[in-house]
Structure 1
């Protein structure tokens, strides 16, 4: 990288500067729903002059990407650190894939509030027109690079899962992943930070099947199928698409001593104790599902489900309360123990009745 690109603000952007600049340039120029041949190309974009607005967008977008990289590293690389532990090569792969995914979302996804696109009849018919453009956009990348983007979408789906419970009973969303990619990384990060689904509600046409159905994933998987690309990579772990290694991957659950989770994947990165309970809100979006069958059928306990809905808002506090109400066979459990999701789920399900009894006694 030349001295020009090493100086502020460019040196602060990260290793995927061409992809970052391409996104910023398209945003600054308002290039919406354009075919790929009308977009600036990654190969020569750094040869062109940069405007002040593009510089501003570069810095603003980089803050979103850095925050998401910290989250990604914490949940996929090293559960002991909330700041990125990705190597330079891993960070480059992550950021390159994220900026590319973000650009596709900007071009063909959810319009910003108040824009002309927001008021258009952007339903299934419009989606059908955008799918070929999405596919043309993605065709420019190698199969390996598409697999990296796919891994990013899985990660973002988990992050956005923290607010999926807000749609229960009020909105039938049949493709949550499509909705999240349609909204884009910036909206997903806001959902996570604010603990609310408002960034996904800015568009008045969301509901049932919408223009987000199959967004990004449908054309991406279509390309890989046409190329006869083995997405399973002969049994190679999916995370290898972005990461070279994961810290603590072989750590065992303190309780069941298993090194694999319920679906046969290495569980070391996916272990939980009081240091990362707050992230459980991305998994436990509806704690009522953890209620035992007999208690859940009791019509007098409708207040319980409301209390559990509130508990989802502060899952870390809820987990501390769980440990304060533990009974056999969990009396020896410690908050510092690293436990897999399967064991944790059984603990929560069997402890909720005692937690609820304690709450009712405190309330008189």
Structure 2
């Protein structure tokens, strides 16, 4: 029955208003008010309150912080998102006080709505990463409590604001080279003033988010990332951190930053202590004892951590949140070919074929489901009875399992693709001939356990 049909019982305006305030997104609201004239009429009667309610649904209780981030005057030059060099002369107190966080009956414009939805997607992704790495390693989506989520998002939106006021792209390489020490000090005073606007307990939550962002960036490339590069990447803010996490590479971060850490021959003093210097300045001015190095900053946001004292399900090695589960297997930085058993990994013919079948797994979220497939394909009964995909493993134990069972998965994979295995080689995956003889690879099946000692 159509909503506007004469025979349809009319909905009370208060009920329609209530329905509209529960719309989860602005797109849903737009669709709802097009359903009928009655819905549209109710919206026209209360546009501000309904839009504000939907904005809260999109962002949550951190709406004042999200709005400030969306509305802040970022001192753009000629309409570009790159502040002018003259911003160095802006009064720190003025920058800190501009566009204050609004509470209460906030009016949401269409421009606000677009920005809020776009930024909320970044925040959703960031919170999922935070939850997986800091709260509960068994869930890829956030399990933060409402209170924990509010603390995190309020702090993260404020960090986003800080990074947008002082972005990595604020100066070109030439401008950085020309910056005098006095100008760097001015910018550090501006940064300090922006952070100094927040109460100490909430500033500690921002500190926790900054520590988390640093940890994410450092974990992406533990071998080559240096302190200066990390400081520069921090200036890209939560969005840059999310891009780096998702791509498992610094290269996904804003292209304009490439020269800062890669092509510059001099130290970029402006980004040394990007967060640390202003935080330290605030602690000192307030005579507050600063957080200790190595102290878990998560305590300022989280009330509880799931599995913090857990051990490996097989060897009892302590690991806590570092243990590997189906939810975080995809974060392993490995080449699947390393798991080929015996002589298989030394055969150019075998590795080429295997690499073609698994190339999509490199730095990909598909690595996790693939490891799950290996567990499903494992030989049973056997030595791996009791090793299940829903358990937690240290990296050593998981690697040991994969090195012993990936060949079983590969055999199943090839058969499913239509391959008919020839007669088994007696030396199986330990056959040394496959390393030097391509023809022998095809003459016999080597995806099998040896039945005799390899020659």
Common fold by TM > 0.5: yes
Q: Where do 1:132-211 residues align within 5 Å? A: 132-161=189-218, 163-164=220-221, 168=224, 173-196=226-249, 197-207=251-261, 209-210=267-268, 211=270
Q: Where do 1:35-50 residues align within 5 Å? A: 35-38=92-95, 39-44=97-102, 49-50=107-108
Distance 2:330 2:235 in 1: 26
Q: Where do 1:293-332 residues align within 5 Å? A: 313-314=363-364, 316=368
Query: How far 1:200 moved relative to its partner?
Result: 4.5
Contact 2:136 2:307 survives alignment (8 Å): yes
Contact 2:211 2:297 survives alignment (8 Å): no
Contact 2:330 2:368 survives alignment (8 Å): yes
Residue 297 of structure 1: aligned partner: none
Distance 1:338 1:147 in 2: 35
Query: How far 1:93 moved relative to its partner?
Result: 0.4
Contact 1:64 1:189 survives alignment (8 Å): yes
Q: 1:288-327 deviations in whole A, cap 9, x for unaligned?
A: xx9xxxxxxxxxxxx9xxx9x99862464896799899xx
The one of 384, 392, 395 aligned to 1:344: 395
1:68 alignment partner, SS class: helix
Query: How far 1:241 moved relative to its partner?
Result: 0.6
1:9 alignment partner, SS class: helix
Contact 2:58 2:116 survives alignment (8 Å): no
Residue 229 of structure 1: aligned partner: 289
Q: Where do 1:1-364 residues align within 5 Å? A: 3=49, 6-26=52-72, 30=76, 32=83, 33=87, 35-38=92-95, 39-44=97-102, 49-111=107-169, 117-118=171-172, 121-123=175-177, 125=180, 127-161=184-218, 163-164=220-221, 168=224, 173-196=226-249, 197-207=251-261, 209-210=267-268, 211-226=270-285, 227-232=287-292, 238-258=297-317, 260-261=318-319, 267=320, 269-281=321-333, 313-314=363-364, 316=368, 334=387, 336=389, 338-339=391-392, 343-345=394-396, 348=399
- What is the TM-score when the length of structure 2 is the normalising length? 0.58
Contact 2:326 2:389 survives alignment (8 Å): yes
Residue 264 of structure 1: aligned partner: none
- Taking structure 1 as reference, are residues 213 and 355 closer, same or farther at Cα in structure 2, changes over 3 Å only? farther
Count of residues in correspondence between the two structures: 327
Higher mean alpha-carbon deviation, 44-53 vs 54-63, is at 44-53
Distance 2:369 2:108 in 1: 47
2:205 alignment partner, SS class: helix
Higher mean alpha-carbon deviation, 144-153 vs 235-244, is at 235-244
- Taking structure 1 as reference, are residues 321 and 60 closer, same or farther at Cα in structure 2, changes over 3 Å only? closer
Distance 2:405 2:174 in 1: 52
Q: What are the ranges of 5 or more consecutive residues in structure 1 without an aligned counterpart?
A: 262-266, 291-302
Distance 1:58 1:46 in 2: 17
Residue 24 of structure 2: aligned partner: none
Query: How far 1:140 moved relative to its partner?
Result: 1.6
Distance 2:220 2:361 in 1: 13
- Taking structure 1 as reference, are residues 66 and 351 closer, same or farther at Cα in structure 2, changes over 3 Å only? closer
2:113 alignment partner, SS class: helix
Contact 2:247 2:363 survives alignment (8 Å): no
- Taking structure 1 as reference, are residues 26 and 59 closer, same or farther at Cα in structure 2, changes over 3 Å only? same
Distance 1:318 1:132 in 2: 50
- Taking structure 1 as reference, are residues 51 and 149 closer, same or farther at Cα in structure 2, changes over 3 Å only? same
Query: How far 1:230 moved relative to its partner?
Result: 4.7
1:122 alignment partner, SS class: helix
Q: What are the ranges of 5 or more consecutive residues in structure 2 without an aligned counterpart?
A: 1-20, 22-47, 339-350, 408-428, 442-455
